[in-house]
Amino acid sequence: MPLSSIEIRRQIEALGPWFHNIDLAGVATAPDHFLGNYPYVKWQKFASAIPTDLSGKSVLDIGCNAGFYSIEMKQRGADRVLGIDFDEVYLNQARFAAQVADMDIEFRRLSVYDVGALGERFDIVLFMGVLYHLRHPLLALDLIREHVTGDLMVFQSMQRGSTEAAALEKNYPFWDYQLFNEPDFPKLHFIEHCYADDPTNWWVPNRACVEAMLRSAGFEIVGHPEQEVYLCRLAEKNENDGAVYPAKGKSA
Ligand SMILES: C[S@@+](CC[C@H](N)C(=O)[O-])C[C@H]1O[C@@H](n2cnc3c(N)ncnc32)[C@H](O)[C@@H]1O
């Protein structure tokens, strides 16, 4: 039997505070979100870049939070959606949201650093809004590429600084100091304490840095539908480029 709106509201309050604003049978989980109706407003900017029919596909939502994107993927007909997060508070929200939305989605407590334990690749991996919360962002990208990306990775990161990305050389002279003052050269700012009142915001990349990190981890950028969002596929290994990631389809 469907829950009454009073009961939904009661459970939303008991499970809060929420980062995802999700409409649960007419009740909003985070109506006062500082980013507005988030992540709906973000999703609207790139939803059309993701296949609308996901039947037969598997999806892994890393850092799923309350499951907004997991639910969207299931609504598009994905056969299997697995949401992982290392925060049980968010996972409980996600389970409740999926229950109210009547969606068969699995949510599991797992850190991105442990994705290898899943022992399976997914057609679509969502890795959105997590990179800059990690102490070891490149390690996470390397593991996602090596262990779980089957076809497409949808990636998003907060960005600050220049929105231009310089064409990069394969090498630079030791005495080239000016390079590091160029706004469009890859930059990753380290936050020792807090940014936006959030002590888990460890890194803030500019656009050039995001793109260079994705390439360095062995992803080919095949789409950039929104300022912070990238569609990536597994890059073929170029034997001459010094890359350390394993060749497509092979394990390390
Ligand atoms: C800013 S939220 C992004 C949520 C959602 N992916 C989105 O784009 O709206 C970051 C999420 O990453 C999760 N997270 C942070 N570090 C993680 C880790 N090491 N492994 C798994 N999840 C992590 C947090 O618990 C949080 O739910």
Chain mean pLDDT for the chain: 94
Identity of the amino acid at 204: V
In angstroms, what is the span from residue 102 Cα to ligand 1's centroid? 23
Q: Tell me whether residue 42 is exposed, middle or buried, using C-beta atoms within 10 angstroms of its C-beta: 0 to 12, 13 to 18, 19 or more.
A: buried
The verdict on residue 186 lying in a domain is yes
Q: How many residues does the chain have?
A: 252
Sorting pLDDT into bands at 50, 70 and 90, what band is 239? low
CA 177 from chain centre, in angstroms, equals 33
Q: Candidates 81, 130, 201: which one to mutate for ligand 1, based on the most atoms within 8 Å of Cβ?
A: 130
Angle between helical axes of 88-101 and 68-75 (0-180°, round to 10):
30
The per-residue pLDDT for 47 is 98
Sorting pLDDT into bands at 50, 70 and 90, what band is 27? very high
The verdict on residue 142 lying in a domain is yes
Domain that holds residue 143: 111-234
Sorting pLDDT into bands at 50, 70 and 90, what band is 236? confident
- pLDDT tens digits along 194-220: 999 999 999 999 999 999 999 999 999
- CA gap 110, 186 in Å, rounded: 30
* Tokens describing residue 239: 């034997």
Count how many domains the chain has: 1
Question: What percent of the chain has a predicted confidence (pLDDT) above 90?
Answer: 92
Identity of the amino acid at 88: E
Alpha helices in 16-129 (DSSP H): 40-46, 68-75, 88-101
Distances (CA, A) of 131 to 12, 164, 210, 232: 27, 20, 10, 15
Q: 144 CB less than 6 Å from ligand 1?
A: no
- Report whether 66 contacts 22 (CB < 8 A): yes
Taking residues 161-171, report their average pLDDT: 97
Instruction: Examine the pLDDT at 242 and tell me if it is beyond 90.
Output: no
Instruction: Examine the pLDDT at 244 and tell me if it is beyond 60.
Output: no
The verdict on residue 115 lying in a domain is yes
Place of tokens 């390690």: 139
- pLDDT tens digits along 94-136: 999 999 999 999 999 999 999 999 999 999 999 999 999 999 9
The verdict on residue 135 lying in a domain is yes
Instruction: Examine the pLDDT at 149 and tell me if it is beyond 70.
Output: yes
In angstroms, what is the span from residue 63 Cα to ligand 1's centroid? 3
Q: Are strands 219-226 and 203-205 parallel, antiparallel or unpaired?
A: unpaired
The verdict on residue 15 lying in a domain is no
The verdict on residue 25 lying in a domain is no
Q: 85 CB less than 6 Å from ligand 1?
A: yes
Sorting pLDDT into bands at 50, 70 and 90, what band is 22? very high
- CA gap 150, 135 in Å, rounded: 25
Indicate which residue's Cα is closest to atom 12 of ligand 1: 63
The verdict on residue 70 lying in a domain is no
Sorting pLDDT into bands at 50, 70 and 90, what band is 247? very low
DSSP state of 6: H
The verdict on residue 206 lying in a domain is yes
In angstroms, what is the span from residue 72 Cα to ligand 1's centroid? 17
- pLDDT tens digits along 79-99: 999 999 999 999 999 999 999
